[in-house]
């Protein structure tokens, strides 16, 4: 399998997993920085701590949108989804 095909497969797997987990996620605002607006600053806040988890000194629980203890692609996607609906 070529690297591009692997990347596409990974993205599709993440999208499917996200779709299956949406029902178990609490109400999502996406407002990570608490300014009552979902915008690029919230995306930057999640990106800035991407890959951290509970116990890491830079872990930000506000950026862990789905409260799974890991700031990952799912948290970033939740913010982006709310960004597009807030416009």
**Nearest Cα residue to 33 out of 41, 23, 25:** 41
* Encoded tokens for 64: 């862990």
CATH architecture of the region 27-86 = Orthogonal Bundle (1.10)
Terminal-residue alpha carbon distance, the chain: 39
State how far the alpha carbon of 39 is from the alpha carbons of 30, 48, 69, in Å.
9, 14, 23
pLDDT 10s digit of each residue in the chain, 87 long?
A: 576 777 777 666 776 666 655 544 444 478 999 888 889 999 999 999 999 999 999 999 999 999 999 999 999 999 998 886 655
| Cβ pair 31, 42 in contact under 8 A | yes
Does the predicted model carry a pTM greater than 0.75?
no
Q: Is 27 left (phi over 0), alpha (psi -120 to 50) or beta?
A: beta
C-alpha radius of gyration, the chain, whole number = 14
Domain boundaries in the chain? 27-86
């Amino acid at each position: 399998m070529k690297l591009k095909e692997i990347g596409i497969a990974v993205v599709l797997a993440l999208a499917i997993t996200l779709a299956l987990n949406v029902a178990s996620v609490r109400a999502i605002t996406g407002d990570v920085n608490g300014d009552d607006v979902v915008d690029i600053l919230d995306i930057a806040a999640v990106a800035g701590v991407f890959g951290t988890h509970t116990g890491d000194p830079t872990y930000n629980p506000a950026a862990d949108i789905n409260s799974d203890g890991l700031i990952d692609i799912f948290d970033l996607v939740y913010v982006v989804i709310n960004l597009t609906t807030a416009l």
